[in-house]
Structure 1
Amino acid sequence: MLNSKLSLIIGLLFLGICTSAQQRGRKAIDSLEAKLRTAKQDTNRIKILHALGMEYQYDDYKKAINLFDEGIKLSRKLDWRYGLGYCYIGRGEAMSHKADKTGILEYYEKALDIALRIKDKGLEAQAYNNIGTLYSNQGNLVDAMENYLLSFKAAELSKKDNLIATGLLNLGLVNFKQNNFAKAHEYQQQALKIYKKINNYEKVANTLGAIANNYAMEGKPKEAEKYYLQSVKVYQEHGNKIGQAIGLSEMAILYVPDYEKILSYQLKAQKIFEEINPKHYNSMMNLGNIGYTYLNIARDGLAGKTKNPDLPKNKMQLLDLAERDIRKGLGISIQSKSKDWESYFYGTLAEVDEQRGNFKNAYDNFKKYSELNDSLYSQQMKNKIARLEAQREVDLRDKQIELNTLKFKAYKLYFAIAAILLVALIGVFLFRSRLRGLKLKHYLENQEAERRANELKHLNRLCESELKAIRSQMNPHFIFNVLNSIEYYIMDSEPAMAAKLIQKFAGLSRLILENSTQSMVALDKEWKALKLYAELEAMRFNDEFTYSFESNITHSNILLVPPMLVQPLIENAIHHGLRNLKEKNGILRVKLEELEGQLVFTVEDNGVGLEASKSTRKVNPFKEKSIGLESISDRLEMVNNIIENGKAVFHLVENETGGCTAVLKLPKVFAQTTE
């Protein structure tokens, strides 16, 4: 659970920064307060109130809100809509530092309405960006991406460097979420160059942190540490304590599994959060990380073995600390209506209770975790679609830039032609030669565009197929049957069996969700998921059939296979073959071997066979849906379009002695290794 959540932490920390943050410092605040004391009731006073509010919002958001309210009141009195719009933006940003986020969207939408009325592209860009950030922190990437793209379009029209740089950061975020780290780095470096040019230290530090996040997710800890340290240094030089705390919290993840070092960074960050704003959104995330670190120390048997004399020597005391910080974070997540973090905290509490041997509480917390996860599942699918649509918008924008560049070159060419015609006939010859070259280039570009379109079509079909496979594996019927089995063992006073079933179900869920984000996964992880699935099905049906797994592959950790391709074969063998046997003596055999340079999966059962299963399939009460052999064939076709060397083959035959044998042959694909 830790690794999957770390990636979410990085994304949320990056998303949580708004566009209007100003340079802070005691000298700047004193200077502005002196000006405010002598300022008249005019537009200049509104500007001072806004600037002073931006200075206070991180360290004293309540005072900042009062300053923005005064600015709003005076702007209305003077009917100065420009100042009113920016004061609405500022008040919304100040409110974002509270645990309760209610009412923020209302102020951003008021600012957007003013921007559209007065046709101010700068204000429009900031309003759209802050609305996008608000949706992102709620986990709603569908609306977030839409607003980010609108923000960038307005920023380009405004021709303001700071807003264009913010748009570049958001485009980097789109690619970061799609694991396109190279493109994300490109946009982030462009943004960093602009922020250094305009001396915006706040955004320089923020962008350095974003680049570090990129490297951390790429698995490059040394590069990530370098940029984290640069980011924290800039925040320290300008007295931004919240920025320092966020940087320290982010850096901690680089030192897994050195839990003592991780904990030292997390506690330093939390000390700052407690001084400035203990209910800050990033304080909630840091509390969750601290609790999970205590849990890891206790679970790994390190109690009393650490060098830190302040750490408890007793496992139960460590688990008490873990529960304390996790519950603090849970309270903030409930207050801020952050469902994904609420789900994470309940899941972690279930692990704490499991370590204590309190399986009833573990079950209750795990059930809450599962219910919240189910509610988030449809939103995650929408987010995935939104990311694809956002990437399409970015690609269209890049093509438009290329088209504008070609038009500019064409204008230069026409000017050159006119000059050449006035000089001599040889100019005509040179022009025609140049024109032929442009036509060839245009033809080649069209061919390349068609090729890219076909690739995107195949990728979209593959994504849709993978979503169907995920739904098949994690359908509600299967989930609730497993949960009912867990409840049965608990109520029947068999906590050991209940804990075993919880661990296996959690392990299977984690593997499926991890594998679903990639088109190719490690063979050893996929093999482990297949074993867990077969074991859960056997336990679920009271061992009505036996199963065995055989493999002669010794290097499965460096081989890649498409995820969730073999599981439907096992599922069909159980539900349409073995389950229909009158005598419950079913046998399932799954074999993996390397033959003639290919990976061969064989799934064999002694069930009723193909023809007999057709008559019982309509009334089978145990499985309402199956991914189907046709969908498997569709996935193989798409896999063959992606993998160049070798072809994937599948066939299903009926055994002479009863049952069926399914054989799936896949080409060997090796994972790229880094030195």
Structure 2
Amino acid sequence: MRALTLTLVLLLASLQTHAQKEGQALIDSLVSELPRAKNDTLKGRLYKRIADEYFFIDTKMALAYARRGLAHVKAMPWERGIGVFNTSMARAFSDMGNIDSCMYYNQQALEVFRNMGDTYNMSTTFNNIGVAQANIASNYPEAIRYYLLGLKEAEKQGDKYLMANANDNVGSIYLAQKNYPKALLYSTKALKLREQLEASDIYNISREVGNSLNSLGSIYYQMKDTAASRRYFGKAALMHERAGNVEGLAKAYGSLASLESRNFEARLTYGRKAEQLWEEVNPAHIEAANNLGSMGSAYLEMYRSHFLPKGIANPSQLLKQAEQYLRRAIKVSEENGDISYKSHFTGVLAEVQEQRGDFRNAYYNFRAYKAVEDSLFSQEEKNKIAGLEGEREIALRDKQIEINTLELDARKRQQWLLTGGLLLLAAIGALLYRQNRLRNRTNVQLLRLNNELDEANQVKARFFAILSHDLRSPVANLVNFLHLQKEAPDLMTPEAAEMHQKRLTDSAESLVETMESMLLWSKSQMQQFRPQARRIAVDDLFDYIRKFFAGTDCITFKYHNPETLSVLADEDYLRTIMQNLTNNAVKALKMTPSAQIHWEAKEEGGQVVLSVTDNGPGASEEQLNALYDGSAAIGIKSGLGLHLIRDLAKAISCQVSARSNAGKGMVFSLVLVKA
């Protein structure tokens, strides 16, 4: 009997509302919950639970839901979910016999769980890799190595579910090696652990106990104890039928067919039931190949016993049916990469060919069968497996001896050093504690002073850079015009005087605007000042901006706020940010025909996004550097510009970004808390 692939579960809250349903009814109930999932995490759990249940009914559907779930958790992103769904993908490919894809997804999952330190899911993944090595590659030493790694992690946690799965899998390897006492030992441990499981939505107890009963039935069958084998398989069938486990029921029927050695009618009945169930759940499963091969063997035995079942009139038809079933079994085994079943049924096919008189092919097939059997069940393979288990037992004993030795040594040292050592340690400890407190206190003070000095230097550098550029330019224009008017008033025509007068007025207004912005920026740099957050209607904000730029000619302003949104922020800070963004857009559109500025407010992900879009020439990455880099040079043509926007936005916890508008113009966006 082959080891069952483990079901990996999300270590999160279970979905208790479905606890009383099983099989397809449970799946239908879970699928109906998907559209109503309250959040992405719950939706991910639903995908995982649906995939887990489909593994016992329809492997292709299990793969489909595992793939959907993996895409969903990657988009979230959810690290543990990514690991879990990688394991589900691996399980599906394992059931389909695709060793390469199975190992790829298992390794991906193992890497995720190792990085997280998730020992529970590491244990499950080790077991899954062991299943793939045993069922697909027939590499028994490698399989048992992974099973023992999984058992080690499970024992650390004391998790009965994981320990049961690991023990059951180890037992299956010993069964394949015909070491029946060891197989019984591990499989019985697994059954006892599963019987101790408490009812949970994570696993189906009937299904788990049924799996153990199948394993024990297989062992007793190999031991020729048909009475015990029939008892265990019969109980397993009832358990799997109760759990709605099509895969487990198919295995049980296939095993019951094998028990009906000379009762050919019953043997065919059970075998056909198993064949029908495997066609329904997963015709590519390795146990489906086992059932097909058993059917082929049954037809060969009927031919030798001169027994003709209903519907067959000619004995030669029995050999034809036997060959057809055996070739199908060999093909499925080959697709799964299973050497053991392929070899065994090749040997049976050789016997059929011998009966049909095809001695040449019978010889070649028998020789191939013997070569593989000698390799798989050689003493060397048995020694490797025994060595791996021996290493584990020795490692456990050595660890316990080491622990005991350390405990004895520690007690001896405590006895010798207890009296004098305690006083000495107390004195040294008190001294070190006092020194440590003084040093920590000094370090904290120095760190705080250094931080304050750094911040003061940065603010000072920005302040003088702004003064040197943004205030000096308009003041210089004002002084130059006054000197010209005083010293050579006759040199200016009335038109020139009017033009200079306008320039002077513009410079003075720009100076006032810059000073106001500078004062607000300076306030934002002072630690004792804090923005006063309150509810701001976006409509009121844009009314203020519209009035501010009411005299701007040649530019069309548009405003869009269909949801009548409000934000939570400091009104003065936010007005200044939006005013500067709009002012920058106005300056950028001076030479643009059909100039437009579009203000928009919309809700995204529970937050409000305010955007200012223009159709101007755009800006280079160097020009936008000051929006993100606090160390960027200060003094671009737009005055305080992006520096002011950056610092004020930071003060009110607002995210600012800029991007090109489809290759023409710019889009500046603010992300704020919705009021």
Q: CA deviation at 1:291?
A: 0.8
Structure number with larger C-alpha Rg? 2
In 1: Cα distance, 2:334 partner to 2:184 partner: 34
Q: CA deviation at 1:235?
A: 0.3
In 1: Cα distance, 2:185 partner to 2:372 partner: 35
The residue number in structure 2 matching 1:340 is 340
- Which of the residues 22, 25, 28 maps onto 2:26? 28
Q: Counterpart of 1:366 in structure 2: which amino acid?
A: Y
The residue number in structure 2 matching 1:363 is 360
In 2: Cα distance, 1:333 partner to 1:231 partner: 25
Taking a change above 3 Å as real, the CA distance of residues 277 and 299 of structure 1, as seen in their structure-2 partners, is same
Taking a change above 3 Å as real, the CA distance of residues 380 and 226 of structure 1, as seen in their structure-2 partners, is closer
The residue number in structure 2 matching 1:395 is 393
Q: CA deviation at 1:219?
A: 2.6
In 1: Cα distance, 2:157 partner to 2:41 partner: 22
Taking a change above 3 Å as real, the CA distance of residues 375 and 235 of structure 1, as seen in their structure-2 partners, is closer
Taking a change above 3 Å as real, the CA distance of residues 218 and 344 of structure 1, as seen in their structure-2 partners, is closer
Taking a change above 3 Å as real, the CA distance of residues 183 and 341 of structure 1, as seen in their structure-2 partners, is closer
Q: CA deviation at 1:378?
A: 4.0
Taking a change above 3 Å as real, the CA distance of residues 233 and 20 of structure 1, as seen in their structure-2 partners, is farther
1:116-175 CA-partner distances (Å, limit 9, x unpaired):
111100110111101101010121112111111111111122332211222222343455
After superposition, residues 617-628 of structure 1 pair within 5 angstroms as none
- Which of the residues 300, 307, 311 maps onto 1:303? 307
- Determine if contact 1:24/1:238 at 8 Å carries over to the other structure: yes
Q: CA deviation at 1:105?
A: 0.9
The residue number in structure 1 matching 2:131 is 133
In 2: Cα distance, 1:293 partner to 1:94 partner: 30
* 1:84 counterpart SS class: helix
Q: CA deviation at 1:405?
A: 10
Q: CA deviation at 1:295?
A: 0.7
1:374 aligns with 2:379: no
The residue number in structure 1 matching 2:268 is 263
Q: CA deviation at 1:182?
A: 4.1
- Determine if contact 1:58/1:94 at 8 Å carries over to the other structure: no
Taking a change above 3 Å as real, the CA distance of residues 248 and 398 of structure 1, as seen in their structure-2 partners, is farther
- Determine if contact 1:319/1:352 at 8 Å carries over to the other structure: yes
* 1:312 counterpart SS class: coil
Q: Is the deviation greater in 97-106 or in 115-124?
A: 97-106
Taking a change above 3 Å as real, the CA distance of residues 405 and 227 of structure 1, as seen in their structure-2 partners, is farther
* 2:71 counterpart SS class: helix
The residue number in structure 2 matching 1:323 is 323
* 2:276 counterpart SS class: helix
1:69-119 CA-partner distances (Å, limit 9, x unpaired):
222122222232111111011111122332544411110111111111111
Runs of 5+ unmatched residues, structure 1: 1-9, 418-675
In 2: Cα distance, 1:231 partner to 1:408 partner: 48
In 2: Cα distance, 1:342 partner to 1:376 partner: 10
In 1: Cα distance, 2:145 partner to 2:301 partner: 39
1:242 aligns with 2:239: no
Q: CA deviation at 1:369?
A: 4.3
TM-score by length of 2: 0.54
After superposition, residues 396-475 of structure 1 pair within 5 angstroms as 396=394, 399=397
1:602-655 CA-partner distances (Å, limit 9, x unpaired):
xxxxxxxxxxxxxxxxxxxxxxxxxxxxxxxxxxxxxxxxxxxxxxxxxxxxxx
Taking a change above 3 Å as real, the CA distance of residues 180 and 383 of structure 1, as seen in their structure-2 partners, is closer
Q: CA deviation at 1:245?
A: 1.3
Taking a change above 3 Å as real, the CA distance of residues 202 and 328 of structure 1, as seen in their structure-2 partners, is same
1:466-519 CA-partner distances (Å, limit 9, x unpaired):
xxxxxxxxxxxxxxxxxxxxxxxxxxxxxxxxxxxxxxxxxxxxxxxxxxxxxx
Q: What is the RMSD computed on CA atoms of the aligned residues?
A: 3.2
After superposition, residues 216-255 of structure 1 pair within 5 angstroms as 216-255=221-260
* 2:95 counterpart SS class: coil
The residue number in structure 2 matching 1:56 is 54
The residue number in structure 2 matching 1:649 is none
Q: CA deviation at 1:313?
A: 3.2
Q: Counterpart of 1:326 in structure 2: which amino acid?
A: L
Q: CA deviation at 1:63?
A: 2.5
Taking a change above 3 Å as real, the CA distance of residues 179 and 282 of structure 1, as seen in their structure-2 partners, is closer
- Determine if contact 1:178/1:387 at 8 Å carries over to the other structure: no
After superposition, residues 189-204 of structure 1 pair within 5 angstroms as 189-198=188-197, 199=199, 200-204=205-209
Taking a change above 3 Å as real, the CA distance of residues 276 and 183 of structure 1, as seen in their structure-2 partners, is closer
In 1: Cα distance, 2:301 partner to 2:99 partner: 32
The residue number in structure 2 matching 1:94 is 92
Runs of 5+ unmatched residues, structure 2: 11-20, 200-204, 416-675
Taking a change above 3 Å as real, the CA distance of residues 408 and 240 of structure 1, as seen in their structure-2 partners, is farther
Q: Counterpart of 1:17 in structure 2: which amino acid?
A: T
Taking a change above 3 Å as real, the CA distance of residues 266 and 51 of structure 1, as seen in their structure-2 partners, is same
- Which of the residues 75, 79, 86 maps onto 1:81? 79
Q: Counterpart of 1:384 in structure 2: which amino acid?
A: K
1:361-390 CA-partner distances (Å, limit 9, x unpaired):
x32243144246436644544532322212
In 1: Cα distance, 2:9 partner to 2:285 partner: 16
Q: Counterpart of 2:295 in structure 1: which amino acid?
A: I
1:556-588 CA-partner distances (Å, limit 9, x unpaired):
xxxxxxxxxxxxxxxxxxxxxxxxxxxxxxxxx
Q: Counterpart of 1:219 in structure 2: which amino acid?
A: K
After superposition, residues 539-554 of structure 1 pair within 5 angstroms as none
Taking a change above 3 Å as real, the CA distance of residues 374 and 299 of structure 1, as seen in their structure-2 partners, is same
Q: Counterpart of 1:293 in structure 2: which amino acid?
A: A
In 2: Cα distance, 1:114 partner to 1:95 partner: 19
Q: CA deviation at 1:228?
A: 1.1
The residue number in structure 1 matching 2:162 is 163
The residue number in structure 2 matching 1:107 is 105
In 1: Cα distance, 2:175 partner to 2:404 partner: 29
- Determine if contact 1:140/1:383 at 8 Å carries over to the other structure: no
- Determine if contact 2:258/2:294 at 8 Å carries over to the other structure: no
After superposition, residues 523-534 of structure 1 pair within 5 angstroms as none
Q: CA deviation at 1:176?
A: 3.9
1:386 aligns with 2:390: no
- Determine if contact 1:195/1:201 at 8 Å carries over to the other structure: no
TM-score by length of 1: 0.54
In 1: Cα distance, 2:97 partner to 2:177 partner: 29
Taking a change above 3 Å as real, the CA distance of residues 175 and 397 of structure 1, as seen in their structure-2 partners, is farther
Q: CA deviation at 1:280?
A: 2.4
The residue number in structure 1 matching 2:5 is 17
Q: CA deviation at 1:21?
A: 8.5
1:287 aligns with 2:284: no
Q: Counterpart of 2:239 in structure 1: which amino acid?
A: V
After superposition, residues 643-658 of structure 1 pair within 5 angstroms as none
Q: Counterpart of 1:303 in structure 2: which amino acid?
A: F
1:206 aligns with 2:228: no
In 1: Cα distance, 2:284 partner to 2:401 partner: 48
Q: Counterpart of 2:32 in structure 1: which amino acid?
A: A
In 2: Cα distance, 1:92 partner to 1:55 partner: 15
